[in-house]
Structure 1
Amino acid sequence: MGKRKFVAMSETTDDSGTSGEEDFISLNLGGEDEPKSRQERRHHERKESKRKREKDDSEQDNLVCCPWMELMDSTAPEAPHKRLQKEVECFLRYMEPTEAERQLREYLVHKIRWAVQSRYSEDVEVHVFGSFGSNLYLPNSDIDVVVCTPPHIQVTLRNLARVLENAGVCSSPQVIEKAMVPVIKFRDLLTDLPVDIVIDSTSGLGSGKVIRQMMKKQPALRPLTLIIKHFLALHDLNEVFTGGIGGYATVCLVMSFLQIHPKLASGRMKAENNLGVLLLDFLQLYGHHFSMDTVGICPKTASYFQTNGRNLSMRGHRHYFSIRDPDCLSNDLGCKSFNSYHVRSSFNYSYLVLSRKMFQMYADWQGKRDRCGVTEEKFKRVNWDASLLGSILTVSMNVMDQRERIHRVYTDKSWLREEAASTFKLNQEKC
């Protein structure tokens, strides 16, 4: 995946320019707590070694990087909005699925279908929905699968889980029967990709069709949605069951934003060429200006509507982003997102951080540009090679490791020796 550029979260700075975490220097000045005997010293050393290993493991998730910067042609000083646009384009290029990722995801779905139909019947249909079905998936996104059974065939979650486990698709799948939509959760043994499987719940198939139609109308919908989905995932605000905003609701938020944006509506701005500016506008709208206490969105009619304060979540009784499902207007996609206030706060904070950094870069760029005889070396002291988008977005080590694992699996071609691979044909439409 190329050379990694790492930045430790503990090294980030706040708005005042000071370190987010104070350096801690342990001063061993002796005293009654100092180990005296050899046995005590060895015990102390083992304890410290274990503590250090645990600390290193816990900080693994805190190591973040900006790998898209390797795709930047130049980091020379320029207008910040142009720099942001270039970074957004590079970020999207980096996050775009590779051939290996596309093919192994397709193969995983095929393997599930092969296992199910081999055990039951070819009358049992297996379909994908969600982000993979609509081509809005991130490198670490799960694969949503629905198993559709004919009336004469009975398939239970526990039996299906055993079928998949016996076929070598997964190990120890988790069966959640008491959820609103019962589901099987597991990680693929080959790629470690997460999978969710439901039975005879086809609502996701309809929403996928709606999303594909919206993407045809708004070319900027897909790239901007991918950025926002990654942002929400970084903040652990992308799961409905934890009060976050689900994938379908996120698509509708972005779609409504693009529909209502005055410069896009008047034709004064081409969305694809201004994704950086649109990202800022999106964060500002939903983080600061949008009143989710009284206003809801309706992507189907490209309009807002008055909620009259009725959009209170069942949990916590707090207002949420009221979003009418384009496929079923009576369905409010945001009604279970009880952490909508946290989502809004994250949008607002990120808007302030990113816009502040852009203003600082603009002042540096404008000041240096107006001076005569300034060399390229002096520009670099302004740290123009640092990531602008990296002030609000990062790619974790876990995501990079996941991508590297898939690349290794794809390259060694061991998966081609599996029984299911003999009947696998790549869907070229997604390549």
Structure 2
Amino acid sequence: MLAHRAPPFTQAPSSSHIGNIYAPWLDSIPDQESGSVEVRLHNEIMAYVDYMAPTPEEEMVVKLVESHVRAVLQRPFKHCRVHVFGSTATGLRLPGSDVDLVIETTDRFDPKAMLFRLSGIVRSNAWCQGSVQVNHRARVPIITFATTPQFGSLKFDVGVNNMSGLETGAFVAECLKTMPALRPLILVIKKALSIHGLNDASKGGISSFAVICMCIFFLQLNPYGLSEEYLTDPIATRSSGFILFDFLAYYSKGLPYKNTYISVSEGRLMPKDRAHWIADDCVGLVIQCPCDPGRNITRALTPMNFEKIRRLFAQAHEVIGDATAMQRGILGALVLVNAKFIEHREHIRRLIPPGDFGGNHFTLATDQRGGGPSAHHTGLLGSSLSVKPPIPGGIYGIPWPPVSMLGATPQAPSDSQQDCLSISQSSR
């Protein structure tokens, strides 16, 4: 059974509740036999992708808040443009993901001083939730901040003149046009790594761009010889399940990562000992940047976290391999959402009144902290949200994760953990 082979928690979270983890996209799949596990998995992947697609309300809130944030960020510059890049620009953004912005300017300034100045300007606005983090020592220096619930609880990463993100975004957009199987695969893998806290390069995880390159390379290489039409027309052939299954096998067991690196530009594996930009003692995952050939985009990934990723993929591959065509929730081996995620989407839905996708009732007014906005609109929630869970007791009544996997009673994630579940650090 799928539910008894689920990736486990590292430790029991602090909440005393269980059963607050769901797969609401399953409700859109007809309750009938799919013919095979792979087709059942394909149907679940497509339902998941549809569920994760931004709603009109989510698109409008991001657009309105981003527009105001842009105006605030332009204040200290005489000449500048603010660009959106990353998953928001490519259409790969998952609900709750960061919005990436970069300020392009010809003004002369001290980079570190400018980041701190921007942080002060952002912090002075009432829509800024909490503190503004300044990461000026990173390879790409940025400030990070979040907006208040009235402004969508959006998270922003902002840099100055770090234009490489626009180039990589153009590359990703082109790949999405030419690889029909790419988008569903990316959205599943990104969410899976996010759930387990492995998607933050600043914390030793893997970046979104590196994940995208893993998916692109897998489709280029097609290591297990899937039919070409599976890759070129995954909807008609209902092949997303086959693709995901082989992806998990390759990156958990099949990739000879110790002595080769991934070259998306070449579409093949290359020997590490011939690349001067790779350290001699590097035995972990290396992916050459397709836009900057001398850069390893997985350089920040720690050996421990890479092993966690491989173990997660191996466990999910085993779960899917043991599943049956009649089984619901096969994709739950990789992706699920919790009550906090569902509540956030409901909160966003109510920020924009029904049908008001022009934002006519979502207006910005001056607040009391010096020029910042406050939200006044008929759809704003003024109190805490209560959402009826779409699926009682976990995956259609099956507690998640099962006690047998943990050796102790599991508990749901705390608010501080949000929907981030950690996989076991012990070898399995």
Shorter-chain TM range is: 0.7 to 0.9
Q: Tell me the CA shift for residue 282 of structure 1.
A: 0.2
CA shift digits 1:301-357 (9 cap, x unpaired):
21111124989998xx76322111111111111122112222112111111111112
1:78 and 2:35 are equivalent in the alignment:
yes
Corresponding residue of 2:4: 14
Number of positions where the alignment pairs a residue of Structure 1 with one of Structure 2: 348
1:350 and 2:350 are equivalent in the alignment:
no
1:178 and 2:121 are equivalent in the alignment:
no
Amino acid at match of 1:123: H
CA shift digits 1:182-224 (9 cap, x unpaired):
3211111211111111122111111111111111121211121
1:164 and 2:122 are equivalent in the alignment:
yes
C-alpha change, 1:397 and 1:353, in structure 2 (3 Å) is same
Alpha-carbon distance in 2 for matches of 1:148, 1:275: 39
C-alpha change, 1:264 and 1:388, in structure 2 (3 Å) is closer
C-alpha change, 1:403 and 1:414, in structure 2 (3 Å) is farther
Contact 1:313/1:335 (CA < 8 Å) preserved in 2?
A: no
The TM-score, its normalising length taken from structure 2, stands at 0.73
Alpha-carbon distance in 1 for matches of 2:135, 2:68: 22
Corresponding residue of 1:134: 90
Contact 2:257/2:283 (CA < 8 Å) preserved in 1?
A: yes
Corresponding residue of 1:275: 240
Provide structure 1 residue ranges, at least 5 long, that are not aligned to the other structure: 1-11, 22-54, 363-383, 422-431
Amino acid at match of 1:161: S
Alpha-carbon distance in 1 for matches of 2:322, 2:80: 55
Q: Trace 1:70-219 onto structure 2 (pairs within 5 A).
A: 70-76=27-33, 78-117=35-74, 119-120=75-76, 123-152=79-108, 156-171=114-129, 172-189=131-148, 190-219=151-180
Amino acid at match of 2:364: E
Alpha-carbon distance in 2 for matches of 1:133, 1:342: 29
Which of 362, 366, 375 is the matching residue for 1:416? Answer: 362
* Structure 1 stretch displaced more, 234-243 or 250-259: 234-243
Contact 1:311/1:335 (CA < 8 Å) preserved in 2?
A: no
4+ residue stretches of structure 1 with deviation over 6 A? 309-314, 412-415
C-alpha change, 1:59 and 1:237, in structure 2 (3 Å) is farther
1:320 and 2:287 are equivalent in the alignment:
no
Corresponding residue of 1:32: none
C-alpha change, 1:397 and 1:249, in structure 2 (3 Å) is same
C-alpha change, 1:63 and 1:268, in structure 2 (3 Å) is closer
Corresponding residue of 1:377: none
1:331 and 2:289 are equivalent in the alignment:
no
C-alpha change, 1:153 and 1:307, in structure 2 (3 Å) is closer
Amino acid at match of 1:271: P
CA shift digits 1:115-155 (9 cap, x unpaired):
233x3457221111111122111111111111222225677
Corresponding residue of 1:36: none
Corresponding residue of 1:298: 263
- 2:143 is paired with a residue whose SS is strand
- 1:208 is paired with a residue whose SS is helix
Contact 1:319/1:340 (CA < 8 Å) preserved in 2?
A: no
Provide structure 2 residue ranges, at least 5 long, that are not aligned to the other structure: 366-371, 374-428
Q: Greater share of helix residues, 1 or 2?
A: 1
Alpha-carbon distance in 2 for matches of 1:409, 1:193: 13
Q: Tell me the CA shift for residue 93 of structure 1.
A: 0.6
Contact 1:312/1:320 (CA < 8 Å) preserved in 2?
A: no
When the two chains are superposed, the root-mean-square deviation of aligned CA atoms in Å is: 3.1
Q: Tell me the CA shift for residue 239 of structure 1.
A: 1.0
1:248 and 2:213 are equivalent in the alignment:
no
Alpha-carbon distance in 2 for matches of 1:313, 1:329: 11
Alpha-carbon distance in 1 for matches of 2:266, 2:79: 39
Alpha-carbon distance in 2 for matches of 1:209, 1:327: 10
Q: Tell me the CA shift for residue 268 of structure 1.
A: 6.4
- 1:296 is paired with a residue whose SS is strand
Alpha-carbon distance in 1 for matches of 2:201, 2:274: 21
C-alpha change, 1:86 and 1:332, in structure 2 (3 Å) is same
C-alpha change, 1:125 and 1:414, in structure 2 (3 Å) is same
Amino acid at match of 2:168: S
Corresponding residue of 1:341: 307
Alpha-carbon distance in 2 for matches of 1:147, 1:304: 36
CA shift digits 1:232-266 (9 cap, x unpaired):
11111111122222111111110010011164574
